[in-house]
Amino acid sequence: MPILPIDMGRYGSREMKAIFEEEGKLQRLLDVEAALAWAHAEVGDIPKEAGETIGAMALVKHVWLNRVKEIEAEIRHDIMAVVTALSEVCGPSGAYVHVGATSNDITDSATALQLKDAIELIRQRLDDLETVLMELAAANKTILIIGRTHGQHAIPTTLGFKFVVWLREIARHIQRLEECTKRVVVGKMSGAVGTQAGLGPNAMKVQQLTMGRLGLTAADVSTQIVQRDRYAELICLFANIASSLDKFAVEVRELQRPEIGELAEPFASATQVGSSTMPHKKNPILCERVCGLAKILRSLTIPALENVPTWHERDITQSSAERFILPEACILLEYMLTLMTRVLRGLHIDREKMRANVDLTGGRAMSESIMLALTKRGMSRQVAHSLVRDISLQSERDGTAFRGDLLAHSEVRQHLSAREVEAALNPENYLGTAFKQIDAMIEKTETEREKRATAH
């Protein structure tokens, strides 16, 4: 009976969940046993026929999950249950299953196979999100929006500039994922404490052949387990990515407030219900879901880091925690990436409201522009700052037009003509290098994507 939302089908894609379902895990455990037997046969440790038989039978259609569970219930050891079930269907060749290996040779290598597939899915979702952000940055390159610091109006920027900042954040995460995958997706065949004693004189060759067969890199050195700093790095990266998605979602939520009304997540007006009691509501539920799940992702970093220290060559304290955190992290992150891409693909952008909000303070958001115009005309920067501050505060207090108050002030008129004041108050004249930066970052991203496409 499903209990958790992932099991209920509320969160997570079918593709990602299939990687971590019981049969998916069992098949990968069998894949490792098959590769080990093949490697032993290749170096002459076991008969060729035995290696071939084990390889042919190491499939969930032969080794049934129910039989594995039945054996585990009796002997209380999960991997020995797999070994026993596989041996049963292999006939006399079953005597050569699991030769020289320890449990974590199988489980850690199978985990590497799961993570390899999961990371590839997450990489694809990051790529999708990067594509959408690149399109949004280009399409909204010149669209004015008020920049906000401390939640207050600062100076104008463009919506495209906001999106290109997000774009490069995702680009960095893609780079981080590429880099850490090499350290995370590793298997091993090193025996009880890492010395490979049980694997005999061909041990190093057996490990090399097994990992090659599986498409994995062998850990450079290990104890009975692959060292958990690797998994901790991955979970911390996932939490970092989740925090970026949280940030994007918070921004959409904030800008969806009716009193701001600049952006809004997609809403299916024909069918979607916003509230059970308030028919007018259009709640940012997708973004709120991203923010909520980001809390779970960040919480997983604690057990991941706690799993790094183990007693001596290993204990089993990390095992139970990893049964939760590795599937959860992968399933939830891929789902969050899909959600955020969906939000941005269908994002409602109210350009008129954005322009109205730029003008909301009656030009006071252009105070820096006025101050610097005065400085260019010979006024001390500090004097100009104090003067413009006084005029802007008076304008806000009295509810008068900032432009009129500027032109009415003698010191301003001594330095700036009415035309120069108008020019300094025009937000389109005060965007600095925003357009150039947007173009440069899109070009940089396109170059990186071309290199990635070639590499993959």
Residue type, 184: V
The helix (H) or strand (E) run that includes residue 358 is helix 351-358
Q: Tokens representing 334? A: 């891929």
Q: Tokens representing 123? A: 């990489």
Helix, strand, coil percentages for the chain (3-state, nearest 5)? 70, 5, 25
Three-state SS at 218:
strand
Three-state SS at 348:
strand
Strand blocks (E) in 243-308? 263-264
The region that residue 152 occupies, defined by phi over 0 for left and psi between -120 and 50 for alpha, beta otherwise, is beta
| Residue 260, number of CB atoms within 10 A of its CB | 16
Kind of pairing, strands 217-218 and 263-264?
A: unpaired
User: Is the distance from CB of 12 to CB of 331 less than 8 angstroms?
Assistant: yes
157 phi and psi, to 5 degrees? -140, -165
Q: Tokens representing 262? A: 């600049």
Q: Catalytic residue among 40, 98, 269, 275, which?
A: 275
Q: Which of 430, 383, 432 is nearest to 409 (CA)?
A: 383
Q: Tokens representing 403? A: 């432009």
CA distance linking residue 313 with residue 199, whole number of Å: 18
| CA 337 vs CA 13, 136, 216, 300, 324: distances in Å | 11, 16, 26, 17, 20
Active site residue 275: yes
Secondary structure in 3-state letters for 144-178: EEEEEECCEEEEEEEHHHHHHHHHHHHHHHHHHHH
DSSP-derived secondary structure for 421-440: HHHHH-GGG--TTHHHHHHH
Q: Catalytic residue among 150, 280, 312, 456, which?
A: 150
Q: Which of 174, 140, 145 is nearest to 347 (CA)?
A: 140
Active site residue 319: no
Q: Which sequence positions are flagged as catalytic?
A: 150, 275
